[in-house]
Amino acid sequence: MEALFEQKRQQSKLTIDQIFTHPFETLNSFGNARFQETLRHQFNDDAFRDAFLNYLIHLCKDTVDDDQRLVRFLAVGRIKGLTLWITVGNAPYNIFTDTATLDNIFSNPLNTVNY
């Protein structure tokens, strides 16, 4: 799965920085329309979602700078927390349609009271 995600990321010309600064908008840019349909269908599957998060962890491990690696690992935690909040906690957001709002929550987690 990680190889597939990486292939789609490269085909989409998405940078690793984009993934860790705007993860939900970036997720919406992965691959072509057919792959997007697959993502939307499979993202509620725990194993699929975990495979995607493991892919992000793999990207973190490949980061050369130690400080940046820590920042990216913490970002994976926030991404996982938000996806769990939506899928398990029944938050009123959709990972694929509320990308700007979710990226804002991701970037400013202490301001989530307003959501």
Per-residue pLDDT of the chain (115 residues), as tens digits, is 889 888 988 888 888 899 999 999 998 888 778 888 888 888 888 899 899 999 999 999 888 888 899 999 999 999 999 999 998 888 999 999 999 999 999 998 777 655 5
What does the pLDDT read at residue 110?
75
What does the pLDDT read at residue 28?
87
Hey, what's the torsion of the CAs at 5, 22, 60, 13, to 10 degrees?
50
Distance CA 1, CA 37 (A): 16
Check: CB of residue 2 under 8 Å from CB of residue 55.
Answer: yes
pTM recorded for the entire structure:
0.85
